Amino acid sequence: MRTRAKWREFGVLIPALLLAGCGIFAERDDHQSEATKPGSARESLATNLEQAREVEDCLVVVWDAQADRDEDFDRSNDTANGGAISCATGTSPSQFEAALAAIRAAAQSGDKARILREIGIPLLFIDAEGNRRELTDPQRIEEAFDEVFDEETLGVLRRLELSDMAVAKEQGAFFELGSIWLSVPEPGARPKLVTVNRQALGEAAQAAKRKVDDNAGQSVPIRPDS
Protein backbone atom coordinates (compact mmCIF):
# COMPACT_ATOMS: atom_id res chain seq x y z
CA MET A 1 0.00 0.00 0.00
CA ARG A 2 2.84 2.35 0.80
CA THR A 3 4.41 1.78 -2.63
CA ARG A 4 1.14 2.57 -4.39
CA ALA A 5 0.75 5.69 -2.29
CA LYS A 6 4.22 6.84 -3.32
CA TRP A 7 3.41 6.29 -6.98
CA ARG A 8 0.19 8.27 -6.61
CA GLU A 9 2.11 11.05 -4.85
CA PHE A 10 4.71 11.14 -7.63
CA GLY A 11 2.02 11.07 -10.31
CA VAL A 12 0.17 13.98 -8.72
CA LEU A 13 3.19 16.12 -7.93
CA ILE A 14 4.86 16.08 -11.34
CA PRO A 15 1.76 17.19 -13.32
CA ALA A 16 1.11 19.83 -10.65
CA LEU A 17 4.64 21.14 -11.03
CA LEU A 18 4.29 21.24 -14.81
CA LEU A 19 0.94 23.05 -14.56
CA ALA A 20 2.46 25.55 -12.16
CA GLY A 21 5.23 26.21 -14.71
CA CYS A 22 2.61 26.76 -17.41
CA GLY A 23 0.80 29.23 -15.16
CA ILE A 24 3.96 31.23 -14.66
CA PHE A 25 4.44 31.60 -18.40
CA ALA A 26 0.76 32.48 -18.90
CA GLU A 27 1.06 35.37 -16.46
CA ARG A 28 4.24 36.57 -18.11
CA ASP A 29 2.62 36.48 -21.56
CA ASP A 30 -0.02 38.97 -20.38
CA HIS A 31 2.70 41.51 -19.66
CA GLN A 32 5.16 40.60 -22.38
CA SER A 33 7.54 43.37 -23.37
CA GLU A 34 9.53 43.70 -26.56
CA ALA A 35 12.56 42.26 -24.77
CA THR A 36 10.75 39.01 -23.92
CA LYS A 37 8.93 38.34 -27.20
CA PRO A 38 9.59 34.95 -28.90
CA GLY A 39 13.11 34.67 -30.24
CA SER A 40 14.65 37.15 -27.79
CA ALA A 41 17.71 36.23 -25.74
CA ARG A 42 15.87 37.13 -22.52
CA GLU A 43 12.99 34.78 -23.32
CA SER A 44 15.43 31.98 -24.10
CA LEU A 45 17.15 32.53 -20.76
CA ALA A 46 13.79 32.53 -18.94
CA THR A 47 12.85 29.24 -20.62
CA ASN A 48 16.14 27.64 -19.65
CA LEU A 49 15.76 28.77 -16.05
CA GLU A 50 12.21 27.44 -15.88
CA GLN A 51 13.33 24.07 -17.23
CA ALA A 52 16.12 23.98 -14.66
CA ARG A 53 13.59 24.62 -11.87
CA GLU A 54 11.38 21.80 -13.20
CA VAL A 55 14.29 19.34 -13.11
CA GLU A 56 15.18 20.42 -9.56
CA ASP A 57 11.56 19.87 -8.51
CA CYS A 58 11.60 16.35 -10.00
CA LEU A 59 14.80 15.55 -8.13
CA VAL A 60 13.29 16.80 -4.86
CA VAL A 61 10.32 14.45 -5.29
CA VAL A 62 12.66 11.54 -6.09
CA TRP A 63 14.97 12.30 -3.15
CA ASP A 64 11.99 12.33 -0.81
CA ALA A 65 11.47 8.63 -1.64
CA GLN A 66 15.12 7.72 -0.97
CA ALA A 67 16.83 7.00 2.33
CA ASP A 68 20.26 7.67 0.79
CA ARG A 69 21.04 9.97 -2.12
CA ASP A 70 23.89 11.67 -3.93
CA GLU A 71 22.55 15.16 -4.61
CA ASP A 72 25.68 16.54 -6.27
CA PHE A 73 25.93 13.63 -8.70
CA ASP A 74 22.21 13.75 -9.45
CA ARG A 75 22.21 17.48 -10.21
CA SER A 76 25.23 17.12 -12.49
CA ASN A 77 23.96 14.10 -14.43
CA ASP A 78 20.18 14.46 -14.72
CA THR A 79 20.18 15.26 -18.43
CA ALA A 80 19.80 12.47 -21.00
CA ASN A 81 18.65 12.19 -24.59
CA GLY A 82 14.89 12.57 -24.25
CA GLY A 83 14.81 14.80 -21.18
CA ALA A 84 15.59 14.83 -17.48
CA ILE A 85 16.19 11.37 -16.03
CA SER A 86 14.38 12.14 -12.79
CA CYS A 87 11.29 13.57 -14.52
CA ALA A 88 11.03 10.78 -17.12
CA THR A 89 11.76 7.75 -14.93
CA GLY A 90 10.90 8.64 -11.34
CA THR A 91 14.33 7.90 -9.96
CA SER A 92 17.74 9.55 -9.79
CA PRO A 93 20.81 9.38 -12.05
CA SER A 94 22.83 7.91 -9.16
CA GLN A 95 20.43 4.97 -8.98
CA PHE A 96 20.87 4.36 -12.71
CA GLU A 97 24.63 4.65 -12.31
CA ALA A 98 24.58 2.00 -9.57
CA ALA A 99 22.39 -0.33 -11.64
CA LEU A 100 24.53 0.06 -14.76
CA ALA A 101 27.73 -0.60 -12.81
CA ALA A 102 26.21 -3.79 -11.38
CA ILE A 103 24.97 -4.93 -14.82
CA ARG A 104 28.37 -4.28 -16.42
CA ALA A 105 30.18 -6.21 -13.68
CA ALA A 106 27.73 -9.10 -13.84
CA ALA A 107 28.00 -9.35 -17.62
CA GLN A 108 31.78 -9.14 -17.44
CA SER A 109 31.94 -11.96 -14.91
CA GLY A 110 29.47 -14.12 -16.83
CA ASP A 111 27.96 -15.06 -13.47
CA LYS A 112 24.40 -16.15 -14.17
CA ALA A 113 23.20 -15.49 -10.61
CA ARG A 114 24.58 -11.93 -10.64
CA ILE A 115 22.90 -11.16 -13.95
CA LEU A 116 19.58 -12.60 -12.75
CA ARG A 117 19.66 -10.27 -9.73
CA GLU A 118 19.56 -7.25 -12.06
CA ILE A 119 16.52 -8.46 -14.02
CA GLY A 120 12.98 -7.21 -13.46
CA ILE A 121 9.95 -9.46 -13.74
CA PRO A 122 8.37 -9.77 -16.21
CA LEU A 123 11.26 -9.69 -18.67
CA LEU A 124 10.29 -9.00 -22.28
CA PHE A 125 12.43 -10.83 -24.84
CA ILE A 126 12.17 -10.03 -28.55
CA ASP A 127 14.19 -12.29 -30.81
CA ALA A 128 15.94 -11.33 -34.05
CA GLU A 129 12.80 -12.01 -36.09
CA GLY A 130 10.64 -9.81 -33.89
CA ASN A 131 8.87 -12.60 -31.99
CA ARG A 132 7.90 -11.42 -28.51
CA ARG A 133 8.02 -13.51 -25.37
CA GLU A 134 7.15 -12.27 -21.88
CA LEU A 135 8.99 -14.21 -19.20
CA THR A 136 6.79 -13.83 -16.15
CA ASP A 137 8.58 -15.80 -13.45
CA PRO A 138 12.19 -16.51 -12.39
CA GLN A 139 12.07 -20.13 -13.54
CA ARG A 140 11.10 -19.20 -17.10
CA ILE A 141 13.83 -16.54 -17.20
CA GLU A 142 16.40 -19.07 -16.00
CA GLU A 143 15.28 -21.64 -18.59
CA ALA A 144 15.62 -19.07 -21.41
CA PHE A 145 18.79 -17.51 -20.01
CA ASP A 146 21.27 -18.78 -22.61
CA GLU A 147 18.96 -17.75 -25.46
CA VAL A 148 18.31 -14.26 -24.09
CA PHE A 149 21.79 -13.49 -22.80
CA ASP A 150 24.00 -14.75 -25.58
CA GLU A 151 27.50 -13.34 -26.10
CA GLU A 152 26.26 -10.49 -28.29
CA THR A 153 23.79 -9.32 -25.64
CA LEU A 154 26.36 -9.69 -22.87
CA GLY A 155 28.72 -7.56 -24.96
CA VAL A 156 26.12 -4.78 -25.02
CA LEU A 157 25.58 -5.05 -21.27
CA ARG A 158 29.32 -4.78 -20.62
CA ARG A 159 29.50 -1.36 -22.27
CA LEU A 160 26.37 0.32 -20.86
CA GLU A 161 27.17 3.86 -19.71
CA LEU A 162 24.97 6.55 -18.22
CA SER A 163 26.21 9.04 -20.82
CA ASP A 164 24.80 6.85 -23.62
CA MET A 165 21.36 6.46 -22.05
CA ALA A 166 18.12 7.85 -23.47
CA VAL A 167 14.82 8.17 -21.62
CA ALA A 168 11.15 7.98 -22.54
CA LYS A 169 8.63 9.56 -20.21
CA GLU A 170 6.82 7.02 -18.00
CA GLN A 171 8.46 4.13 -19.90
CA GLY A 172 12.02 4.03 -18.62
CA ALA A 173 15.51 4.27 -20.06
CA PHE A 174 16.98 2.56 -23.09
CA PHE A 175 20.19 1.93 -25.01
CA GLU A 176 21.14 1.14 -28.61
CA LEU A 177 17.84 1.98 -30.33
CA GLY A 178 15.82 0.17 -27.66
CA SER A 179 17.90 -3.02 -27.56
CA ILE A 180 18.02 -2.79 -23.77
CA TRP A 181 15.39 -1.19 -21.53
CA LEU A 182 15.55 -0.47 -17.81
CA SER A 183 12.52 0.42 -15.73
CA VAL A 184 11.99 1.65 -12.18
CA PRO A 185 9.82 -0.58 -9.94
CA GLU A 186 8.85 2.26 -7.58
CA PRO A 187 9.71 5.95 -7.05
CA GLY A 188 13.34 6.54 -6.15
CA ALA A 189 14.28 2.86 -6.55
CA ARG A 190 17.13 1.26 -8.44
CA PRO A 191 16.18 0.37 -12.03
CA LYS A 192 15.90 -3.19 -13.30
CA LEU A 193 16.59 -4.68 -16.72
CA VAL A 194 13.15 -5.35 -18.24
CA THR A 195 13.62 -5.74 -22.00
CA VAL A 196 16.12 -7.45 -24.28
CA ASN A 197 15.31 -6.72 -27.92
CA ARG A 198 17.54 -8.65 -30.29
CA GLN A 199 15.76 -7.28 -33.35
CA ALA A 200 16.61 -3.71 -32.27
CA LEU A 201 20.13 -4.86 -31.46
CA GLY A 202 20.57 -5.99 -35.06
CA GLU A 203 19.22 -2.66 -36.31
CA ALA A 204 21.60 -0.79 -33.98
CA ALA A 205 24.55 -2.78 -35.33
CA GLN A 206 23.55 -1.97 -38.90
CA ALA A 207 23.14 1.73 -38.05
CA ALA A 208 26.59 1.76 -36.43
CA LYS A 209 28.12 0.12 -39.51
CA ARG A 210 26.45 2.68 -41.80
CA LYS A 211 27.84 5.46 -39.64
CA VAL A 212 31.36 4.03 -39.89
CA ASP A 213 31.02 3.64 -43.64
CA ASP A 214 29.72 7.20 -44.00
CA ASN A 215 32.58 8.58 -41.93
CA ALA A 216 35.04 6.64 -44.06
CA GLY A 217 33.45 7.96 -47.23
CA GLN A 218 32.45 4.46 -48.33
CA SER A 219 28.69 4.93 -48.57
CA VAL A 220 27.25 4.71 -52.09
CA PRO A 221 24.28 7.04 -52.73
CA ILE A 222 21.18 5.65 -54.43
CA ARG A 223 20.52 7.12 -57.84
CA PRO A 224 17.20 9.06 -57.96
CA ASP A 225 16.19 7.27 -61.18
CA SER A 226 17.11 3.77 -60.03
Position 79 scores a pLDDT of 94
What's the average model confidence in pLDDT over 57-83? 94
**pLDDT tens figures, 191-206:** 999 999 999 987 876 7
pTM higher than the cut 0.85: no
Position 89 scores a pLDDT of 95
Q: Are the beta carbons of 44 and 130 closer than 8 angstroms?
A: no
Position 44 scores a pLDDT of 61
**pLDDT tens figures, 5-63:** 444 445 544 444 444 444 433 343 443 344 334 455 656 655 554 565 667 789 999 99
Where does residue 90 fall: left (phi above 0), alpha (psi -120 to 50 degrees), or beta otherwise?
A: left
**Of 192, 189, 191, 165, nearest to 63 (Cα)?**
189
**pLDDT tens figures, 85-143:** 999 999 999 999 999 999 999 999 999 999 999 999 999 999 999 999 999 999 999 99
Q: Which runs of E-coded beta strand occur in 8-118?
A: 79-80, 83-84
**pLDDT tens figures, 172-192:** 999 999 999 999 999 999 999
Q: Are the beta carbons of 135 and 125 closer than 8 angstroms?
A: yes
What's the average model confidence in pLDDT over 67-81? 95
Q: Is the pLDDT of residue 221 over 90?
A: no
Position 48 scores a pLDDT of 55
Angle at 167 (CA atoms; ends 165, 170), nearest 5 degrees: 150
Identity at 200, one-letter amino acid code: A
Position 33 scores a pLDDT of 41
The contacts of residue 83 (CB under 8 Å, 6+ apart) are: 167, 169
**Of 17, 6, 111, 120, nearest to 66 (Cα)?**
6
Burial class of 105 by CB neighbour count within 10 A (0 to 12, 13 to 18, 19+)? middle
